[in-house]
Amino acid sequence: MQKQSIPIIKHCVYRAKIKPFANTDDFILGLANNIVNSLDLHVVNKIEHRFSPQGITIVWVLAESHLAIHTWPELGYLHVDLVTCSNKDSNEIEEVLAHILDDSLIESSKIQSRY
């Protein structure tokens, strides 16, 4: 009997307090692109919503699961939620985000599940 592989799901939540930022598509989409490219993830679909008067939420469906970014620009606050079944180490994901967000104070939570 052949062993079935057991998927490993990594769920990383990052709360970043950064200097107030412009609530622009360029900034948020650039951030998402940078995360996806740096971790060699693959985008399948994109959903974006702009709130009035400010704030953006994007959800990108990835071949490896999903990435969601929620913003509160008036507070200088980002919430990044990345769920992946890639073989990337959670520490590597955190290092990539710390590098991308550069000047920010990052609090993170990691959830790793085996099914």
Selecting among 38, 65, 90, 108, the annotated active-site residue is 65
Which residues, other chains included, contact 10 with Cβ-Cβ below 8 Å and sequence gap of 6+? Answer: 82, 83, 84, 85, 86, 88, 90, 93, 110, 111, 112
Selecting among 11, 38, 79, 85, the annotated active-site residue is 85
In contact, 3 and 103? CB cutoff 8 Å: no
Cα–Cα distance, 52 to 102 (Å, whole number): 27
Active-site annotation holds for 65: yes
Selecting among 12, 70, 86, 104, the annotated active-site residue is 70
Active-site annotation holds for 85: yes
Point out the residues that are catalytic.
Answer: 65, 70, 85
